[in-house]
Amino acid sequence: MSKTQTYAPISKTEKQLRYLIWAYILLLILEGALRKWFLPQFSDALLLCRDPIILLSYALAIKEGIFLTNRYVVSLWLLIGLCFALSVLFCHGNLFVAGFGFRVAALHIPFAFIIGKVLHRKDVISIGRWWLWGCLPMTALIVMQFYSPQSAWVNLSVGGSEGAGFSGALGRYRPPGTFSFIVGIIWFYTFAVAFLVSGITQHKRYSKLLLALSSFAIVVAIPVSISRSLILAAGLTFVVGLSSSIFQKNALVRYARVALITCIALFVANQLTVFDDAKEAFFSRWESSTGDKRGGVKKAIIGRVLDGFTQPFTDSNEIPIFGEGLGAGTLVGVKVLSDKRHFALGESEWHRLIGESGLLLGTLFIAWRVWLTVRLSRASFTALRKGNALGLILLSATAYNLLVGQLGQTTIHGFTIIGIGLTIASMRPRKIITQVTNAPTESKP
CB atoms within 10 A of CB 22: 15
Mean pLDDT of 385-398: 95
In terms of Cβ atoms closer than 10 Å to its own Cβ (0-12, 13-18, 19+), residue 70 is exposed
Question: Of 3-12, 95-104, 180-189, 362-371, which gets the smallest average pLDDT?
Answer: 3-12
Return the exposure string of 405-444: e unless at least 16 CB atoms fall within 10 Å of the residue's CB, then b: bbbbbbbbbbbbbbbbbbbbbbbbeeeeeeeeeeeeeeee
Residue closest to 300 by CA, chosen among 232, 350, 401:
232
Residue closest to 146 by CA, chosen among 126, 115, 180, 170:
170
Residues 392-424: tens digit of each pLDDT: 999 999 999 999 999 999 999 999 999 999 999
- Percent of the chain past pLDDT 90, that is, above it, reads 70
pLDDT band, very low/low/confident/very high, at 367 (cuts 50, 70, 90)? very high
Residues 421-438: tens digit of each pLDDT: 999 999 998 776 666 666
Residues 20-59: tens digit of each pLDDT: 999 999 999 999 999 999 999 999 999 999 999 999 999 9
Per-domain boundaries in the chain: 2-437
Residue 113 near residue 72 (C-beta atoms within 8 A): yes
DSSP symbol at 291: S
pLDDT band, very low/low/confident/very high, at 445 (cuts 50, 70, 90)? very low
* Residue 247, pLDDT score: 73
pLDDT band, very low/low/confident/very high, at 345 (cuts 50, 70, 90)? confident
Residues 138-185: tens digit of each pLDDT: 999 999 999 999 889 999 999 888 776 777 888 899 999 999 999 999
* Residue 443, pLDDT score: 45
- Percent of the chain past pLDDT 70, that is, above it, reads 93
Q: What is the pTM of this model?
A: 0.93
